[in-house]
């Protein structure tokens, strides 16, 4: 990460309520330039509201924020000139074609007619949308629509992009394509604030993550730090000979602490997030003559991070989003 | 997906990451769009929607036709004695009424638009604040012109002959469209205040129906009870109808036109900034 670069987003104590609902309750953020920063949280956590404040769509009730050095209230126009927003609802015009959408935005951003047309052709090509260009957006599939949405956000290159749940509802292939585009944007030097409820997405894309729940940031760090703070990885071992399990149990006990016996009479596991300790323990098993059929060292998933931090699971996650980390653990 | 029969490689349906990287760095930020250009671009957006769904012009073409036929043949004989005479009296009135009714749809359309994510993008653009609103009302004005033209042409087919000729008819249409543009700001304000397109439609017509019927659009106010007559005489819609009749017949009074323009400016001055404020706040 670029520790010396100035902050792209600096928020202090942002608060926003809608009537009785306190949607955002004192959020601080520090997002370095040229990075992807993930805001991770379940439905209703307040992610979209934070983005809408930072993108100058709504004013905070309290607190302040600077985006690319500009105050979001006093210098809203300067902020708007440097950012682009891909909202949670598709922020393209359903009643127009893909090409018309891009030309529309080009013209609104100050491109001359010919330049706007040229730019739309370039983006349609780059985003694999040439075939869909002349169809109405309301007839697009979710994946194509999202790509158009992101293309629309870079008609004129923003310094900072807000991406609100860019892959919600997409199939794995479309999701991977969107991830590829996001990585390309980052390589080209765009800072991205990414909202997601998918733990895997934050893990895959973000350099830094703020976990947000009930309008508050409840944890912050790199994906690795967040996982380490929970430290609930585990070393799973399966033996060739179930009779050796008591012996193996003693070794694991000494090396790692609490040991759990699995229902499989040949298997056992212990909490461990330190790979070196795991390796030493495995070596010790071999040294005392316990024969190992296989073993695995699981990193904690962000699901567990979430559970540990909030005391409740991130809903939604089980609903359709494949999570590789999760699958390993059910072994 | 069907297989491309030509020997050329089918266009890749996926994004090309290298091309994305190139596209992102191949453009520098142009100077901001001017207020006018932004508004006209939104007007163009309105036109494109009509191009894609031409059926939406039905309400501005069929309804006026129905009004003309209904009022001329159904009520004409009863109210004025003969359909021919009544057509002379009623046609400018129907022009006013039909076009004014259309303005309610501007509010309905804005309310519908607000439920879509694209509005957030428009709000986040560095453009002249009222541009999306001014632009869509400019687009709507094209609909008003269309509705007005349908009525005048149909009137001529049925035997109506404006005393001031085609020039008079165009002048009357221009005045009506200008007033409607101003009035539609009231409905866009409603469109932002109310929760659903239906609510906007109901509230809009609840306001515009009595105002239109308590005007001299259909009946000569001298036939009304004094209280109503007094109201009808100061109702801006009456004055607009009188001015339109005058323009069509070539005997318009400057005073009437001045009042219509003043009311139009006043409506715009109050409701345009109000609409813009509400639109900004979301
Ligand atoms: N315009 C609004 N009016 C009233 N309440 C709102 C409004 N916008 C958001 N809220 C409420 O504020 C809270 C936070 O909403 P927000 O949309 O920011 O959450 P989120 O983290 O984006 O959730 P999701 O993952 O479902 O998109 C919710 O309780 C929501 O109902
Ligand atoms: Mg949201």
For residue B22, is it within any domain? no
Alpha helices in A57-188 (DSSP H): 76-80, 98-108, 113-126, 142-153, 172-187
Structural domain for A282, as ranges: 231-299
Using CA coordinates, name the residue in chain A closest to B18: A184
Burial class of A10 by CB neighbour count within 10 A (0 to 12, 13 to 18, 19+): middle
Spans of chain B below 70 pLDDT: 1-13, 76-84, 282
The pLDDT, as a whole number, for residue A317 is 37
Query: Where do the DSSP E strands lie in chain A?
Result: 7-18, 21-32, 36-40, 62-67, 70-71, 83-86, 160-164, 191-196, 208-213, 216-221, 234-239, 259-261, 267-271, 292-298
Instruction: Please indicate whether residue A197, judged by its CB atom, sits closer than 6 Å to ligand 1.
Output: yes
Ligand 1 atom index nearest CA of A88: 27
Contacts of A148 in chain B (CB under 8 A): none
> pLDDT tens digits for B146-193?
989 999 999 888 888 888 889 999 999 999 999 999 999 999 999 999
Closest-approaching ligand to the CA atom of A20: 1
> pLDDT tens digits for B241-255?
999 999 999 998 999
Same domain, A168 and A190: yes
Contacts of A145 in chain B (CB under 8 A): none
Instruction: Please indicate whether residue A47, judged by its CB atom, sits closer than 6 Å to ligand 1.
Output: yes
For residue A313, is it within any domain? no
Q: Which three-class secondary structure string do you get for B53-74?
A: CHHHHHHHHHHHHHHHHHHHHH
* Domain CATH number, residue A253: 3.30.70.100
What is the distance between the alpha carbons of residues A260 and B259, in angstroms, rounded to a whole number? 89
Using CA coordinates, name the residue in chain A closest to B35: A108
Distance between the two ends of chain A, CA-based, in angstroms?
34
Structural domain for B248, as ranges: 35-281
Instruction: Please indicate whether residue A211, judged by its CB atom, sits closer than 6 Å to ligand 1.
Output: no
Same domain, A40 and A189: yes
- Adjacent-strand bridge partners of A194: A38, A163
For residue B29, is it within any domain? no
Contact between B27 and A123 using a beta-carbon 8 Å cutoff: no
* Domain CATH number, residue A204: 3.40.50.300
Same domain, A18 and A102: yes
The pLDDT, as a whole number, for residue B222 is 83
Contacts of A91 in chain B (CB under 8 A): 117-118, 120-121
Same domain, A287 and A162: no
| A12 part of contact set with chain B, CB < 8 Å | no
For residue B21, is it within any domain? no
Same domain, A101 and A144: yes
> Phi-psi region for residue A221, left (φ > 0), alpha (ψ -120 to 50) or beta?
left
- Tell me the nearest-neighbour CA distance from B184 into chain A, angstroms: 22
For residue B25, is it within any domain? no
Same domain, A63 and A14: yes
| Nearest protein CA to atom 26 of ligand 1, as residue | A43
The pLDDT, as a whole number, for residue B225 is 87
For residue B6, is it within any domain? no
The pLDDT, as a whole number, for residue A316 is 42
What predicted TM-score, i.e. pTM, was given to this entire model? Answer: 0.80
Same domain, A192 and A266: no
| A288 part of contact set with chain B, CB < 8 Å | no
Instruction: Please indicate whether residue A182, judged by its CB atom, sits closer than 6 Å to ligand 1.
Output: no
For residue B119, is it within any domain? yes
- Tell me the nearest-neighbour CA distance from B115 into chain A, angstroms: 9
Spans of chain A below 70 pLDDT: 1-5, 230-232, 299-307, 310-331
Question: Could you give the maximum distance between any two Cα atoms of chain B, in Å?
Answer: 84
The pLDDT, as a whole number, for residue A217 is 92
Closest-approaching ligand to the CA atom of A196: 1
The pLDDT, as a whole number, for residue A322 is 38
| B53 part of contact set with chain A, CB < 8 Å | yes
Q: Which residues 205-244 of B have a C-beta within 8 angstroms of A?
A: none
What is the distance between the alpha carbons of residues A274 and A95, in angstroms, rounded to a whole number? 54
The helix (H) or strand (E) run that includes residue A269 is strand A267-271
CA angle (A320 as vertex; A317, A321 as ends), nearest 5: 55
What is the distance between the alpha carbons of residues B5 and A128, in angstroms, rounded to a whole number? 19
Contact between A108 and B33 using a beta-carbon 8 Å cutoff: yes
Domain count, chain B: 1
The pLDDT, as a whole number, for residue B7 is 40
For residue A317, is it within any domain? no
The pLDDT, as a whole number, for residue A312 is 64
Same domain, A252 and A215: no
For residue A182, is it within any domain? yes
Report CA torsion sign: A67, A71, A76, A77.
negative
Q: Which residues 95-124 of B have a C-beta within 8 angstroms of A?
A: 116-118, 120-124
Same domain, A128 and A254: no
For residue B182, is it within any domain? yes
């Amino acid at each position: 990460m670029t520790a010396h670069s100035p902050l792209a987003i600096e928020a202090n104590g942002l608060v926003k309520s809608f009537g009785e609902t306190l949607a955002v309750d004192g959020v601080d953020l520090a997002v370095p330039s040229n990075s992807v920063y993930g805001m991770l949280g379940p439905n209703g956590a307040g992610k979209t509201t934070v983005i809408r404040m930072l993108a100058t769509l709504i004013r905070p009730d309290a607190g302040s924020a600077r985006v690319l050095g500009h105050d979001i209230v006093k210098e809203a126009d300067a902020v708007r000139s440097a950012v682009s927003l891909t909202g949670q609802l598709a922020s393209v015009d359903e009643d127009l074609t893909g090409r018309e959408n891009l030309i529309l935005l080009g013209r609104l951003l100050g491109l001359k007619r010919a330049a706007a047309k040229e730019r739309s052709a370039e983006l349609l090509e780059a985003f694999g949308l040439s075939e869909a260009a002349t169809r109405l957006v309301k007839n697009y599939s979710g994946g194509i629509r999202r790509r158009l949405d992101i293309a629309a956000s870079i008609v004129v290159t923003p310094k900072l992009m807000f991406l609100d749940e860019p892959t919600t509802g997409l199939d794995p292939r479309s999701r991977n394509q969107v991830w590829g585009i996001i990585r390309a944007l980052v390589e080209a030097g765009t800072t991205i604030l990414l909202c997601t409820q998918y733990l895997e997405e934050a893990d895959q894309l973000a350099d830094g993550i703020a976990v947000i729940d009930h309008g508050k940031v409840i944890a912050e760090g790199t994906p690795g730090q967040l996982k380490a703070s929970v430290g609930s990885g585990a070393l799973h071992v399966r033996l060739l000979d179930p009779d050796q399990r008591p012996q193996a149990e003693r070794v694991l006990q000494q090396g790692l602490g609490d040991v759990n016996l699995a229902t499989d009479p040949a298997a056992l596991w212990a909490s461990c997030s330190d790979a070196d300790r795991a390796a030493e323990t495995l070596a010790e098993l071999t040294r005392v003559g316990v024969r190992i059929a296989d073993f695995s060292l699981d990193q904690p998933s962000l699901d567990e991070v979430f559970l540990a931090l909030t005391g409740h699971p991130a809903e939604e996650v089980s609903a359709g989003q494949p999570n590789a980390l999760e699958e390993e653990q059910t072994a | 997906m069907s297989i491309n029969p030509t020997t050329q490689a089918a266009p890749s349906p996926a994004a090309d990451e290298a091309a994305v990287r190139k596209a992102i760095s191949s453009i520098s930020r142009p100077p901001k769009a001017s207020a006018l250009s932004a508004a006209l671009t939104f007007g163009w957006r309105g036109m494109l929607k009509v191009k894609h769904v031409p059926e939406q012009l039905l309400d501005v073409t069929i309804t006026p036709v129905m009004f003309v036929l209904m009022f001329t043949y159904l009520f004409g004989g009863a109210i004025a004695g003969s359909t021919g005479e009544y057509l002379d009296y009623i046609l400018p009135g129907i022009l006013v009424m039909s076009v004014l009714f259309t303005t309610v749809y501007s509010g309905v359309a804005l309310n519908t638009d607000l439920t879509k994510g694209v509005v957030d993008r428009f709000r986040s653009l560095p453009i002249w604040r009222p541009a999306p609103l001014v632009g869509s009302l400019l687009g709507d004005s094209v609909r008003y012109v269309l509705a007005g033209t349908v009525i005048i042409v149909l009137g001529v087919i049925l035997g109506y002959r404006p005393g001031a000729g085609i020039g008079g008819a165009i002048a009357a249409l221009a005045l009506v469209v200008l007033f409607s543009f101003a009035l539609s700001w009231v409905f866009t304000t409603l469109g932002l205040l109310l929760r659903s397109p239906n609510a906007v439609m109901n509230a809009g017509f609840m306001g515009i129906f009595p105002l239109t019927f308590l005007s001299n659009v259909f009946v000569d106010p001298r036939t009304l009870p004094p209280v109503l007559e007094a109201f009808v005489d100061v109702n801006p819609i009456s004055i607009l109808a009188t001015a339109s009749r005058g323009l069509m017949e070539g005997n318009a009074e400057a005073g009437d036109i001045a009042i219509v323009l003043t009311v139009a400016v006043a409506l715009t001055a109050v409701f345009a900034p109000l609409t813009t404020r509400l639109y900004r706040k979301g």
